Amino acid sequence: MLLHAITFAIAFAPLAAGHGAVASYIIGGKAYPGYNGLNPSASPETIQFQWENMYPTFTIDDIKIRCNKGTSAQLIAPVKSGENVTAIWKQWTHEQGPVMVWLFNCGNDFAGCTGDTKGWFKMDQMGMWGTQLNSKNWGTAIVRQKLEWSSEIPKNIAPGKYLIRHELLSLHQKKMPQFYAQCAQIEIEGEGNAAPPEEFLYKIPGYAAQDDAGVLVSFMSPWCSGLMCSVLMLSGRYLY
């Protein structure tokens, strides 16, 4: 059953410099290194898709928004349903914007599975809480403070091989959204059989338009309007 729609609003705040990528993971209590895109020759084997760079994606229809142009990884992290996946950053400096965590079911094989079809669904997200748009009361501010984000794997999700995608959407600069996303390979173990219905599945890129009210945010107008908002609310649910 799909429950717990988590809604959020988006705020605006002054520009802050800095970029970041997920540097490592703790999955089911075990640590996994991320890909070292700054020194690929020294990068360890990893569960994370090889990413192009640590810079943001500025347009929502850019293929880079999916997995930072990554398409493969060497390792797979096993995780039981109900356990946590924690993404860890070495650097993150922006405080205005949502944190979103997506899954993509690759079936029984990661070979050739790049998440390029309509199959992404959200298992976790956090935007702004409270009523002050110009504030630090939202998801990416937590990442800045803790440099990590932990999400529980849905308890009754169907087992299988999944891509997990961590996305930070930074909205600190007016009408210039910055998307940061990385993907990794996990294998969910359990006895569940739940899967999201078709209406909760999205293609990335493609889950919203660049001119949507939730992407080109104006500090003086409400965020929660337009396709972007409804997509995030509809897909921002848990399987339990």
- Report the sign of the C-alpha dihedral through residues 39, 84, 137, 131, in that order: positive
Mean pLDDT confidence for 165-182: 85
Question: What pLDDT does 220 receive?
Answer: 36
Give me the domains of the chain, ranges plus CATH numbers: 2-239 (2.70.50.70)
Mean pLDDT confidence for 64-80: 95
pTM for the structure as a whole: 0.83
First to last CA, the chain: 6
Q: Which two tokens stand for residue 126?
A: 């956090």
How far is C-alpha 183 from the chain's CA centre?
Answer: 8
Tens of pLDDT along 193-218?
A: 989 888 889 999 988 888 776 666 54
Mean pLDDT confidence for 18-27: 84
- Report the sign of the C-alpha dihedral through residues 175, 205, 89, 196, in that order: positive
How far is C-alpha 170 from the chain's CA centre?
Answer: 12
The residues, ordered by sequence, that sit 6+ positions from 43 with a Cβ below 8 Å of its Cβ are: 35, 36, 37, 50
